[in-house]
Amino acid sequence: MGAIVCPIEESRIRNPEYHAPDRYQQCAQLFVKEAYRLYGFESSSAMEQLIQMGLATQKTPCCKPDLETPLNKQKCMVCRPDMYPLAEGLPYAHVDNSRILCSMTGTVVDDDENIPFLFPSGHVFGLKAINKLRRPENKIFDPIHKQMMDESEALRLYFL
- Please give the residue ranges that form the binding site for Zn ion (CB under 5 A): 63, 76, 78-79
CA distance 115 to 117: 7
Min separation Cβ 114 and Zn ion, Å? 33
Least distance CB 71 / Zn ion (angstroms):
14
Alpha helices in the chain (DSSP H): 8-14, 23-39, 46-58, 84-87, 127-133
Q: Which is nearer to Zn ion, 4 or 62 (CB)?
A: 62
> What is the distance between the alpha carbons of residues 128 and 97, in angstroms, rounded to a whole number?
22
Nearer to Zn ion, 79 or 140 (CB): 79
Question: For residues 93 and 108, which CB has a smaller minimum distance to Zn ion in the complex?
Answer: 93
Bridge-based pairing state of the strands 116-118 and 124-126: antiparallel
- Nearest approach, Cβ of 79 to Zn ion (angstroms)? 4
Query: Chain-centre distance of CA 20, in angstroms?
Result: 41
Instruction: Give the whole-angstrom CA distance, residue 75 versus residue 63.
Output: 11
CB-nearer residue toward Zn ion: 78 or 86: 78
* Paired residues of 66 in beta bridges: none
Q: Closest CB to Zn ion among 66 and 110? A: 66
- Shortest spacing between CB 82 and Zn ion, in angstroms: 13
User: CB of residue 59 vs Zn ion: minimum separation in angstroms?
Assistant: 7
